[in-house]
Amino acid sequence: QALLEQAALAAREARDVGQGLAGQLQIGFAGTVLYRGLPQVLRDFAAAHPKLRLALRELSSSEQLVELVHDRLDLGFVHTTRVPAGFSQILVSSQPFMACLPSGHPLANAKVLSLDQLKGEAFAIVMRAVSPDYHDRILAACADAGFEPSLAFELRHWLSVVSVIAQGLGVGLVPAALQQAGLPGVAFVPLAQPLAPYDTHCLWRTGRDQSALGAFLAAVREVAAR
């Protein structure tokens, strides 16, 4: 059995080299993608293309756009609606925002809550420099609900937002996928008036989806379709 597996691996490696599927891809990703399909893409692709090395860098969406425009990344997994000209994209996932509360909060066991019920609370939020689209979207949603949130914490990572809330230091609006982080001390409550969803896109320069990059994008499309 081991010899058969080695022979199959050698055959895949020889095929990949012949098709230009060797070398390295530079991939950027925002941290929350770890909860929305990226690990499955990486596992599937590594098994199918063992000669192609994947070099991954965790970067904010804004940082990835800079790297992509300067061709320092082959593709990125981003959370932004601001796609530069000359780039193509795949929608990888779309998920709702939820209220994130300390587990001891009076609303922590609510089935659903209205955003105006969080008026007067200290908010934790991602920095605008890191995620301008979603920073602005959260502030606009609060304004529509009739209040301006008190921003006690502006943080670089969504997981940091949840961590601060778990310590009882505020509340926030976060992507639903962060429930999978499994941090204790927090509750996630659906919103009665949903915000526009939190979308994850795979982004790459148009016309470069050949050989190695094209094979990786095929794996992304397969996982996105599940």
Question: DSSP state, 225?
Answer: T
Specify whether the CB–CB gap between 79 and 202 falls below 8 A: no
- Give the rounded percent of residues in the chain with a pLDDT score beyond 90: 65
Residue extents of the structural domains in the chain: 2-94+199-224, 97-196
User: Quick one: pLDDT at residue 183?
Assistant: 92
User: Quick one: pLDDT at residue 22?
Assistant: 67
User: Quick one: pLDDT at residue 224?
Assistant: 87
3-state secondary structure 85-134: CCEEEEEEEEECEEEEEECCCCCCCCCCECHHHHCCCEEEEECCCCCHHH
Q: How far are the Cα atoms of 37, 196, 222 from residue 225, in angstroms, in the given order?
A: 11, 21, 5
pLDDT tens per residue, range 118-171: 999 999 999 998 888 899 999 999 999 999 999 999 999 999 999 999 999 999
Whether CATH 3.30.565.10 fits 97-196: no
What's at 62, amino acid-wise? S
Mean per-residue pLDDT, 83-92? 92
pLDDT tens per residue, range 47-59: 889 889 999 999 9
Mean per-residue pLDDT, 184-199? 94
Closest CA to 142 of 166, 168, 122: 122
Mean per-residue pLDDT, 50-76? 93
Per-residue pLDDT band for 178 (boundaries 50, 70, 90) equals: very high
Mean per-residue pLDDT, 105-119? 97
Rounded CA separation 1/7 (Å): 10
User: Quick one: pLDDT at residue 14?
Assistant: 46
User: Quick one: pLDDT at residue 21?
Assistant: 61
Same fold, 2-94+199-224 and 97-196: yes
Lookup result for tokens 């599937």? 44
Mean per-residue pLDDT, 74-102? 92
Per-residue pLDDT band for 17 (boundaries 50, 70, 90) equals: very low
User: Quick one: pLDDT at residue 51?
Assistant: 85
User: Quick one: pLDDT at residue 2?
Assistant: 52
User: Quick one: pLDDT at residue 1?
Assistant: 56
Whether CATH 3.40.190.10 fits 2-94+199-224: yes
pTM more than 0.85: no
